[in-house]
Amino acid sequence: MREKIKKPEKENSIVSSKALIKISFTALFAALTAAGTFIAIPIGPVPIVLQNFFVVLSGLVLGPFLGIAAVGLYILAGILNFPVFAGGSGGIARFAGPTGGFLVGYVLAAFTAGSIAGKSGARTPLPRIIAAVITGLLVVYVPGLIWLKISAALSWVKTFLAGFVPFVIGDVLKGIAAVLIAPRLRRIAAGFLSEEK
């Protein structure tokens, strides 16, 4: 009788520790995304910031749903006026500005990259990781450019020149970095996040 009572307690302990680990990883990637706002690499007139790098990594490492949770936590911090959006700003008004669509794109990027890469821990072929990174980085631009065109009343040519072309080199460099580090980070995370006992 005692064994039957103790077994659920042990299972509850395992469940709660797994939940705590997932929350910790989610918070970590939300914090890294926020920190990416302040890490700028000046390589020309437009500096490279690392927000979308960490957004894609969150999907690759945590999977599509925890990746969305990490990005959602980051966006929630910005809505609550923490200075985590580009330029060290915050507030819900950023969604009405010309860069608001890119914030929505971050959610899509985490989900897309995580879905393409598949479950962490499994030996994922390198071409699949590359496809996940490229698609994750590019999908940010879909709502981003659409909203930039609408909010700033630009032609499509000017929209691409302002919101895409200056960032191509930076995204290529971030994509290469993500492809190089994602497989190892995925294996490490899988050891903590795996549902198997």
Q: List the domains of the chain with CATH numbers.
A: 2-193 (1.10.1760.20)
The pLDDT of residue 64 is 94
Q: pLDDT per residue over 35-86, tens digit each?
A: 998 887 765 545 678 999 999 999 999 999 999 999 999 999 999 999 998 8
What DSSP assignment string belongs to 32-97? Answer: HHHHTTT-EE-SSSS-EESHHHHHHHHHHHH-HHHHHHHHHHHHHHHHTT-S-BTTTB-SGGGGTS
**How many whole angstroms from its chain centre is CA 183?**
16
For the chain, which ranges sit under pLDDT 50? 1, 45, 197
Residue type, 62: L
Query: Given CA atoms 106, 124, 129, 177 in this order, what sign does their dihedral have?
Result: positive
| Per-position DSSP letters for 137-152, written without gaps between them | HHHTHHHHHHHHHHHH
Q: Confirm whether pTM is higher than 0.75.
A: yes
| Beta carbons within 8 Å of 119's beta carbon, 6+ residues apart | 63, 190
Q: SS3 for 118? A: coil
**Biggest CA pair distance of the chain:** 74
DSSP letter at 98 equals T
Q: What is the pLDDT of residue 15?
A: 58
pLDDT of 88? 82
Q: What pLDDT is attached to residue 121? A: 64
The whole-angstrom separation of Cα 78 and Cα 64 is 21
Which residues touch 173 (CB under 8 Å, ≥6 apart)? 48
Q: Give me the pLDDT at residue 197, please.
A: 42
